[in-house]
Amino acid sequence: MNNIENLQAYWWLLIAVLGAALVFLLFVQGGQTLLYGKSSLAQRQMMVNSLGRKWELTFTTLVVFGGAFFASFPLFYSTSFGGAYWLWMLILLSFVVQAFSYEFRRKNGNLYGTRFYDGLLMFNGIVGCTLLGVAVGTFFFGADFTVQRSSLLDPASPVISRWAPTHGLEAIACWKNLLLGFAVFFLARTLGAMYFINNIADTALSERMRRQVLANGLVFAVLFVAFVVVLMLQGGVRFIGGQAVEEPNIYLHNLLGMWWAAAIFLAGVLAVLYGIFRTAFRRGWRCGIWWAGIGTAAVVLVLFLIAGYADTAYLPSVTDPSSSLSIANSSSSLFTLRTMSYVSVLIPFVLAYIVYVWAKMNAKPITETEMAEEPHQY
């Protein structure tokens, strides 16, 4: 691929794939919020160890997601990550405490007890999921920033992007962003409960998780429908001939203009609903995580595509529409995109390795007997 427009579209597709994978893998965070409740000590230990075998996948995907943005769309990286740093720092803080919670929870000499680290895992589950949803919400509902490329030549202040003085806190206060944030949170809890049913052989725990799937799944469905309605009525910015033009109902137009994306979106929604209701009402069925997980990935993939394709600004500026970022005005150079595209051919092999490792770790469900005999526990 030598055309820069094709490379920009290709790399936005890869960003979308990584974003879809990240949201699916948030079942780890959702599962962490289910640790408290009517679980016995043995059940909680099985739940933590089940998640402990997968938490690095979510963390790694988040890092790769940010790294891909840095390499392919550096202006977004400097604008959002550098400008809305309170939002991103809170997200990173929640993931950092998750990492050392799994590492130190069962270490000898733990002065705080396992409940302290379980609380930190709960913090990661609530804050991480909700604020990631808020951050993605800015892709559709905009952010308070301006871009002045000529500032790069100013020796006194060589800063291209300038954010609002609140540096990302205003994004958390936006009800539209929070709507998506809470939808992601309850989706993660639903997926987490499905994962426990799939990965842990405990009848009492499975029955409790089925109730959690129904309760959290219904809340998610209501929030998601509300988000889709708001999104379809939302205006945005489209670049026509290099000029930023504000367009009402832009995401509805994008979805209808890409019939194949609309078909994938609908199929993904139906797969999620099928996974939720069959898991809730069919005892012994353990495949809900795959139906809902694949459906989630499909829906998120389409949301990223309608946010960035068709000359749409994937980060609209509510202060100055001409400062909005699109895949055309925020990407790396042709040389960089082309070079990285050669490296990207390794991605299918990495994904295949992840699937293989996952299959080996999930060869048989976790049992209470296994936990009693397992020398390494989280």
CB 178 within 8 A of CB 21: no
Question: CA–CA distance from 138 to each of 25, 110, 177, 317 (Å)?
Answer: 21, 40, 7, 9
Pick from 21-30, 116-125, 336-345, 356-365: least confident: 356-365
> In the structure, what pLDDT confidence band is assigned to residue 367 with cuts at 50, 70 and 90?
confident
CB 197 within 8 A of CB 288: yes
Residue 325 phi, psi dihedral angles, 5° rounding? -100, 135
276 token code pair:
């939720």
Residue 167 and residue 84 in contact, taking contact as beta carbons nearer than 8 Å = yes
In degrees, rounded to 5, the angle at the alpha carbon of residue 88 between the alpha carbons of residues 85 and 92 is 130
Could you give the CA distance from residue 13 to residue 362 in angstroms, rounded to a whole number?
29
- Phi first, then psi: give them for residue 38, nearest 5 degrees: -90, 45
Which residues make Cβ contacts (< 8 Å) with residue 224, sequence separation at least 6?
183, 187
Is the pLDDT confidence value at 157 over 70? no
pLDDT at residue 363 tops 90: no
**First vs last C-alpha separation in the chain:** 46
Q: Residue 246 — φ and ψ, nearest 5°?
A: -75, 135
List Cβ neighbours of 162 (8 Å cut-off, separation of 6 or more).
Answer: 83, 145, 146, 148
The pLDDT of residue 1 is above 60: no
Question: Which long-range CB contacts under 8 A does 148-157 form with residues at least 24 apart?
Answer: 148/323
User: Where would I find the H helices in the chain?
Assistant: 4-25, 27-32, 41-52, 55-72, 74-76, 82-83, 85-104, 114-123, 129-141, 169-173, 175-199, 203-232, 250-257, 259-281, 288-308, 334-343, 347-361, 368-373
Measured between alpha carbons, how far is residue 284 from residues 111, 206, 230 in Å? Answer: 40, 9, 37
Of 13-17, 269-273, 316-320, 354-358, the poorest mean pLDDT is in 354-358
C-alpha Rg value of the chain to the nearest Å: 21
Residues 261 and 302 sit within 8 Å (Cβ to Cβ): yes
| Model pLDDT for residues 163-201, shown as the tens digit of each residue | 888 888 999 999 999 999 999 999 999 999 999 999 998
353 touches 13 (CB < 8 A): no
Torsion of CA 325, 326, 332, 333, to 10 degrees: -120
Looking at residue 3, its pLDDT comes to 87
Region of poorest pLDDT, from 3-17, 34-48, 178-192, 272-286: 34-48
Query: Does the pLDDT at position 162 exceed 70?
Result: yes
Decide if 237 contacts 321 (C-beta within 8 A).
Answer: yes
> How does pLDDT run across 54-86, given as a tens digit for each residue?
898 899 899 989 998 999 999 998 888 888 889
Residue 154 has pLDDT above 70, yes or no: no
Helix, strand, or coil (residue 155): coil
Model pTM score = 0.94
Both tokens of residue 145? 């920033």
> What's the per-residue H, E or C state across 32-45?
HCCCCCCCCHHHHH
CA distance readout (Å), 46 to 51, 102, 149, 203, 221: 9, 13, 53, 13, 29
Domain ranges for the chain: 4-149+169-373
Q: What residues contact residue 325 under an 8 Å CB cut-off, 6+ apart?
A: 73, 75, 76, 79, 147, 313, 314, 315, 317
Q: Tens digit of pLDDT for each residue in 246-258?
A: 999 999 999 999 9
